[in-house]
Amino acid sequence: MRDADIRFHKEWLGLAQPIEGLVFSVPALADAQIAPKVRAGIAAELEAQLEETDEGLALRDLRGFFETFLGYSGAGMLVGRHELPEDLSFYAPEGRQQIRPSFAIARGPFEEAADDPFAEFETQALDSAASAGAESPDGGTPFLAVVWDLSSDASSAVLGIDLDKSETETGPWRYPPTAKLERLLRHTGIPIGFISNRRELRVVYAPTGESSAHLTFRFKDLAERAGRPLVAALELIFHAKRTYQAGAEFTFEGLLRESRQRQADVTKDLAAQVFEAVEILLEGYEHAAARDCVGDRPGWLRAALEEPDDHFYQGILSVVLRLVFTLYAEDQSLVPVQHRTYAEHLSVLGLYERLADDAGAHPESMHLRFGGYGRLIALFRAMFLGVEHDELRLPPRRGKLFDPSAFPFLEGGLPDWTAAITLPEERAEVHLPSVSDDVVYRVLHRLVVFKGQRLSYRSLDVEQIGAVYESLMGYHVLRVGKA
């Protein structure tokens, strides 16, 4: 796995928007030795497939794009709508619409044509009947993927169709086109689909029993000079040469499957790393209580431990889940990460970067610094109560997760304590646990850095985050006396 390969795949995946869930993972692509190569002439070949419209640059013809630019020109590679079996469709009774692919990419097998020894990639179908509906040799579907060209059903209005918004241009079912395609994929058992409104080409991956995901290639982006990595990736991954000449694990089908397997491993390893964060936080509260609970200061740790239903452990888990939730929201830009006030005074990533700098400059004194925890509490309150400050707008989330009264010990309170919110005098009397910056930094490091790299919460779906949280359940915290 070369650094250049990793940078290339991170670059084009960063340009492909929108991305929902995990489609391709960088390690899977890099290990497949998909070299970062932008060949000469690729921009001109793409340009020949596009035309200027009132809606911007758009494909002239989707099937022609697959045949010419992506190389699926061999006989039997693409199977048209009228040659597809009847069961390769989905009827939505709630919308009274039949969803049928415009064409499908056949699995083959194919062989090189014998009449042209100089042809770089000329193929023919070994059995056109098999390509049109018989079972493949491995017992699965004879189709690698289905393709829905919205032009097949929406005529001239196709350019105005948003792939993520409900529409009735393709039929009476008022539902987003991508969701319609996903229902087709789930129904047929074919996990891979392409959908296009001619302005965008979206790859949808919906394997059986797993969450769906998609990424989008926008042709106006591909046509720009900065979009060359996108064009190169589109050709390198989805070209017919890779589909039919590469080993099964290196086809786009194999890469999608491997990416999911890698992500499953990530989930398992990340769960272990997050549990380390829980242990660090537990130790941090114990040390904070030893510093704080002296003299007239209330024994918030002992009181929390004496509460039923694992109150103390649930409170620690809530801190970790709040951080994970916020990191996910920041990666998805669901919170105003671009606003200077949020970035400098509230952002979890901003706090981690600041603490990382402090740990590098003053590692010996991190356990004597105590500003980071207070900033986290301020963020948690901002998420719960909302913020309106100049142009900064953060709507209140409410709910139990960020409720400051749900686990009072997090702010140094006793179990019957109600969070001081409205009265400044009461807020001034709150004494937060003295959790050190060293503890906060080590906790955040477990959540932000994974195997030496910045963890992208954008690539984690909700089920994976839930799996990490579920792995932390079932534990108890007990106070053990000295022997």
Lowest mean pLDDT among 43-47, 343-347, 353-357, 455-459: 455-459
Distance from CA of residue 397 to its chain's centroid? 22
Residues facing residue 193 across a β-bridge: 146, 204
The residue with tokens 């196709």 is 158
| Out of 73-77, 397-401, 425-429, least confident range | 425-429
Measured on CA atoms in the order 430, 436, 439, 441, is the torsion positive or negative? positive
pLDDT tens-digit series, residues 425-442: 888 888 899 999 999 999
When mean pLDDT is compared across 123-137, 243-257, 285-299, 341-355, the lowest value belongs to 123-137
pLDDT band at 461 (very low <50, low <70, confident <90, very high): low
Quote the CA–CA distance of 269 and 250 in Å, as a whole number: 24
**Confidence band for 120, pLDDT divided at 50, 70 and 90:** very low
| % of residues, the chain, pLDDT over 90 | 57
Q: Which 8-state DSSP code applies to residue 179?
A: H
Residue extents of the structural domains in the chain: 3-250, 265-470
Q: How confident is the model at residue 168 (pLDDT cuts 50, 70, 90)?
A: very high
Complete DSSP assignment for 205-249 = E--TTS--EEEEEEHHHHTSGGGHHHHHHHHHHHSHHHHHHS-GG
The reported pLDDT for the residue numbered 483 is 44
Summarize pLDDT for 269-284 with one digit per residue, the tens.
888 899 999 999 999 9
Confidence (pLDDT) at 175:
94
| C-alpha torsion 256→257→260→262, nearest 10 | -100
pLDDT band for position 237 (cuts 50, 70, 90)? very high
User: Is beta strand 192-196 parallel, antiparallel or unpaired with respect to 143-149?
Assistant: parallel
Contact 255, 246 (CB under 8 A): no
What does the alpha-carbon distance between residue 50 and residue 348 come to, in Å, rounded to a whole number?
A: 43
Per-residue pLDDT at 164: 92
Beta-strand (E) ranges in 292-410? 387-389, 392-394
For the chain, the distance separating the N- and C-terminal CA atoms, rounded to the nearest angstrom, is 53
Burial 381-399 (b: 16+ CB within 10 A, else e): bbbbbebeeeeeebeebee
Give the residue with greater pLDDT, 425 vs 76. 76
